[in-house]
Amino acid sequence: MKIVVTGGAGFIGSNFVRYIYRERPDWRIDVFDKLTYAGDRRNLEGLDENRVTLIEADIGDEQAVDTAVANCDAIVHFAAESHNDNSLQSPWPFVETNVVGTYHILEAARKHNKRLHHISTDEVYGDLSLDDPVKFTPNTPYNPSSPYSSTKASSDLLVRAWVRSFGVQATISNCSNNYGPYQHVEKFIPRQITEIIEGRKPKLYGSGKNVRDWIHTEDHSSGVLTILEHGRISETYLIGADGEKNNKEVVELILELMGKNPDDYEHVSDRPGHDLRYAIDASKLHNELGWSPNYTDFKEGLSQTIDWYKEHEDWWRPQKAETEAKYREIGR
């Protein structure tokens, strides 16, 4: 088995590559990645080059996509512009990569008749109220809020159309917020951990009441592998680990785990259009494919993640100053 993993040098993609490397020792992996600011070849360090090859290319490059897809058995498509705050400053790269790039992946999968798994997000469903008793399910109507989530929603719709109109052998998964090692310091949890290491206060958008449904990235990987191997073609599966927490609780827990006063954070201005709550009902994946998460203790997973950032300062240090300079510009 040879798979192409687009975006395999980013946070979730590289964790998936390491997971497959360990769990499927006879598989070969071509990582197809543009190495944007969010991709890092160091995320693949230590992996045997006879099994993992990095193809440095853009999913907008039709020829490069065609060649990679022609030479594999299946594609797992993670590549995307992934940060909401960036999409509010500069939406075009999101349209280009998330929509047009996915179009190229679909056309290549169609031409070469290859199995495709498309990675998406719970944000395509918009947000829930804090007391909504019903979580997101595969039947929840699409209602995205931000340029990022609307381009992800668009990419999902393209996949559905290529399945129905052209018979492309595809599945889709929509996952909740991931945490774990190798996540860029622009994202919520690594930003706060590294702010504390640098001697500054964590930054909470608005009141901090917004709820995210946290899942360890390794559980996302096991969910994707389960769907790739056993999922029904044309189906959408939601991946989540019942990890709802509001942002204030998460900041307080990070501070506590790092030996600080849990109140020692600051409020900064809110994100425009900030989604209030995401929550995943993953029962289809549990009941139909027998998947369940391993990281059921958020505090333990968070503590391991904090340790990883403490031990890998050389990894995140090059991203940090530039990221904070960007946040200063927008007052967050």
Return the SS3 of 240.
Answer: coil
Answer with the entry of ligand NAD, ligand TDX, none that 205 interacts with (C-beta below 5 to 8 A by kind): ligand TDX
Distance of closest approach, residue 309 Cβ to ligand TDX, in angstroms: 14
Find the binder of ligand TDX among 6, 15, 43, 82 (CB under 6 A): 82
Side-chain-facing half-sphere of 291: CA atoms under 13 Å: 28
Binding partner at 34 among ligand TDX, ligand NAD, none, C-beta below 5 to 8 Å by kind: ligand NAD
Active-site residue, selected from the candidate residues 122, 186, 244, 275: 122
Distance CA 321, CA 317 (A): 8
188 contact choice in ligand NAD, ligand TDX, none (CB below 5 to 8 Å, kind-dependent): ligand TDX
Among 27, 142, 205, 315, binds ligand TDX (CB under 6 A): 205
3-state secondary structure of 203: strand
Strand, helix or coil for residue 76 = strand
Binding mask 21-60 for ligand NAD (x = CB under 6 A): ------------xxxx-xx------------------xxx
Q: Do residues 161 and 234 touch, judged by C-beta distance below 8 A? A: no
Query: Residues for the chain: how many in total?
Result: 332
124 CA to centre of own chain? 13
* Chain centroid to CA 21: 19
Task: Note if 122 is an active site residue.
Answer: yes
- Choose which of 191, 220, 277, 320 interacts with ligand TDX (CB under 6 A): 191
Q: Kindly indicate which of the ranges 33-41, 125-133, 200-208, 299-307 contains the residues binding ligand TDX, using the contact rule CB under 6 A.
A: 200-208
Q: Active-site residue among 123, 127, 186, 218?
A: 123
User: 101 contacts which partner out of ligand TDX, ligand NAD, none, CB within 5 to 8 A by kind?
Assistant: ligand NAD
CB 68 within 8 A of CB 101: no
By CB under 6 A, residue 82 contacts ligand NAD: yes
Member of 6, 43, 98, 121 binding ligand TDX (CB under 6 A): 121
The DSSP result for 115-172, as a single string, is EEEEEEEGGGG----TT-S--B-TTSPP---SHHHHHHHHHHHHHHHHHHHH---EEE
Catalytic residues: 122-123, 148
